[in-house]
Chains A and B, each alone.
Chain A
């Protein structure tokens, strides 16, 4: 073939090089699969690097009564029982081994007094459970996986973006990608593909997420015919920075509260007393986010529209040791010394609980050959994720999806031929924005999408707003089809954004449609018009699926939990924590 595109063949192609993608690639390589990894940024820059507080695993180093059962119970209760029980079970059982494995690969966690991995408290965890390195645990994890991974023999395509998947006879057989550096195209042929692309936060105005978080994995899977579950559940992290304007949304780790930070309103009241008197600041993220939002709305906010988060009652040196990034972040960006006074914090779009419906054991989606792990997948966290359960999710299910994809590849002999028509359509879609003489700017369309999602599909939702959001999304989709891009194909961010917009719009529609049908409030999904948690909605997951050119929304019964696991969840904490 001419120089229209390069072609590469792999047994397993992993899309994404954050925690889940790297862990999947390591496992697939170890299983003997010829493995390739595609990532939008440079290696080691994926969003995992931003994770701060820790990785949840019932190691029992600080509280010997902790066990996988307690972790499982906490996760299910935190997820308001919508989690896939099998994912929550595997996660709780396997997280400790995945963490110890990281240590064998060179991770250097903070230590207990007797020299073992130290664990800290976090919201919704009923034991100190988060293995950590100060407040830069994600950096430690991604660097460990990266430095270990580069010796495992998989090939990495840095600064490449996948724009669509190729299918043949109902199964996924390859992917179309472009190199950011020069705009050239790549056709990957692969027997298995793992989606580990992260979340969707860039559809919202205030977010802790980087430019990469445009829901690529969700959109690629949807277009290939896979089901997306629980898309109404978007986690608004309670504590993002609110001032100055440029840093609005940047994450303030939950470790501040885990280490004893207190939340107060403008009257000096520890307002969590009103919302969750038992757990106070260590309540779950959905509760704390709503509490801060409500305090601000009712006129008890801080000067810049947030709440006060204070750790300055602890010794200054101790704060700098335990929360070094937070100390520097506030000192450098907001002129606030957190050892002397409070931070101002407010909710920020942080994490997507919903994602590709997968088989818990193998990570395979409803489309043969297509796997998903980490934030791209759904089911593990139910209606609300506990802090620290994401890093462990990446490791446990990244590993499983890598193994699953390698096993699946063995059952498929040879590479499928990719239909030339599909390749041509993918190329045309990529180049179309350059060919228009006139049209809207992708930056403008993006800004309006963010405004729409922020104001109409945020923490509190009502029917009317969601309908309005869907109409606006449809309008923005029409505009995206006319978006014009200028400049060359070499490292052109405007062009890349124009392509990313399609995934963002698709995820936004999935969120709004799923939110519309869940006529109740549960976990991270709060409906002002349906404020109660309704038992009938506690028995089903919402899902969306492509139906012709339209998005079909359905509800499926929760998978039935075995009696012995049900007993763990139903029992009192004291009966499980023994």
Chain B
């Protein structure tokens, strides 16, 4: 059995440092296993969030060797164990303690999105191909890794009137639902700041659910915003027909 050294961030909002811990490595072990072992052996108060341990709940997001990852999915045999494994909290949100960050802001943003609003007398019948794209968005496990790597959030902070990729995916999941009857483009433009996104696709790259965040959610939503708010012909059509744009 080999031994690995972990450098884990210990500290709080006031500051902290990387602390070294030794861990015995077993076959198939993931970073979260190592963190649990450190808790049981050396640091019972090491703070970490986790739940399912199977990449389904999105709780154990962290930066492992600088890479935003789910710790439950990051295997030790994929890391160079001849050097220390560095585990830090995700960066875009304030540290509460150790690996735990304050992600409350995300829940506040979510509340501002008007919920799914079905059409009156909706037939409640639709084909699988009509919902394939919506189901892609609904795979999101809210790990907030996309929020963590987003340039706009990293550079301008979370109070800048920008909602972040997670919530564009969320809006896409209701906007593109075949039975939804609301139009959220004004919200996207004015309150969620979708225009700030410059499509660098960093969010897509880190998504553990492989959601095509930029191509399938953000770009089509940007197009809807342009159609509704910057295209005069469409705008007149929309006003006259009173219909939700598509």
Contact = CB atoms under 8 A, between A and B. Distances in A.
B191 interface: no
A485 B28 contact: no
A487 B28 contact: no
Contacts of B58: 45
Interface stretch (A327-335, A366-374, A542-550): A327-335
Contacts of B45: 485-488, 492-495
B44 A246 contact: no
Given A44-B142, A211-B51, A243-B28, A493 B135 contact: no
B199 interface: no
Interface in A139-165: 139-140, 143, 147-148, 150-151, 158
A245 B44 contact: no
Interface on chain B toward A: helix, strand, loop, or mixed SS? Answer: loop
Nearest to B142: A44
Interface in A197-246: 210-212, 243-246
Contacts of B100: 181, 491
A350 to B, nearest CB: 13
Contact of A490 (B51, B97, B102): B97
B212 to A, nearest CB: 15
Contact of B47 (A110, A114, A158, A492): A492
Contact of A332 (B47, B73, B107, B131): B73
Contacts of B46: 493
Given A111-B127, A114-B125, A485 B55 contact: no
A454 interface: no
A178 B116 CA distance: 34
Contact of A447 (B40, B110, B174): B40
A139 B55 CA distance: 12
B177 A333 contact: no
Interface residues of B, number: 57
A103 interface: yes
A139 B126 CA distance: 21
Interface in A259-314: none
A244 B59 CA distance: 21
Contact of B141 (A139, A334, A441): A139
Contact of A47 (B40, B51, B124, B139): B51
B177 A147 contact: no
A488 to B, nearest CB: 7
A432 interface: no
Interface residues of A, number: 64
A136 B138 CA distance: 10
B29 A245 contact: yes
A80 B46 CA distance: 45
B57 interface: yes
A333 B30 contact: yes
A422 interface: no
Interface in B44-81: 44-59, 73, 75
Contact of A494 (B39, B53, B96, B170): B39
A181 B96 contact: yes
A491 B115 contact: no
A50 B57 CA distance: 7
A455 interface: no
B27 interface: yes
B228 to A, nearest CB: 22
A247 interface: yes
Kindly name the residue among A100, A490, A493 whose own CB sees the greatest number of chain B CB atoms within 10 A.
A493
A106 interface: yes
B40 A247 contact: no
A42 interface: yes
Interface of B: 12, 26-30, 33, 39-40, 44-59, 73, 75, 96-98, 100, 102-104, 107, 110-111, 113, 115-116, 118, 124-128, 131, 134-135, 138-142, 170, 174, 177
Shortest beta-carbon contacts, A-B, top 4: A244-B28, A487-B45, A494-B44, A106-B116
